[in-house]
Structure 1
Amino acid sequence: MLKEFREFILKGNAIDLAVGVLIGAAFGDVVKAFTTGIINPLINAVGGKPDVSLKLWIFDLGVVINSALSLIIVGAILFFIFIKPMNNLKKRMEKKAEEPGAPEPELPADVKLLAEIRDLLKNKA
């Protein structure tokens, strides 16, 4: 995967990268809306919102713990709703691509003739 990424960067596909960033931002908005509209109400209905209060001198570590718990819960839900099904779909698509397909159509007569002429010229040289 790192090799492919390096090849992608070295090709200089700035347009592909820009499109990827824009799609990622748009998808981030979809994930945020999904989380706010569906996942958070579901979590609040089932177990309530995690609320840890831990003040240490002037620092409120409870805020950090709350954020970490929310991240873990939302991450787990998103993993099982988006990532796991996408990985399964990707595996199926790769498996389907590996299956032998229909045989390639036979070359037209003129293409065969040109290939023979090319081979004869190659052998003379």
Structure 2
Amino acid sequence: MLKGFKDFLMRGNVIDLAVAVVIGTAFTAVVTAVTKGVIDPLLAVFGSSAELGLGVQLVGDKPSTFIAIGPIITACINFLMIAAVLYFVLILPMKTLKNRFGTTKAAEPTETELLIEIRDLLAKQNADARADRTAEVLADLDPTVGSSTER
């Protein structure tokens, strides 16, 4: 029972996923700090006031009706930065290593190749059946032929 669990954990995909989650979580803090320190102030320049940031005030003098667009843009930038770093730091190098050192998988036969193989097997099977029937007919016609063929 524990051996199966260990085999499951030691599969390449599970290890890769665990590493990606840990590094992604650690890198998220860095990206969040950059966006709060650099990108948010830049977005606030275009906003109506420093505390509200970039967005639209639906009803004047009511801050509760403010639609904040800045945090959405910030979250999108966070996502793109994290995705780019994870791709170039983890996924691309792992893909290169797997291509260089990984086993090459045998090419799967195409549908046409499978159909040709089935056709050939059926033709051989039909030829064997015809040969058996021919031997039986010849044995019935000439008893000396039947003694040389095995049934």
TM-score computed with the length of structure 1 as normaliser = 0.44
Q: Which has the larger radius of gyration?
A: 2
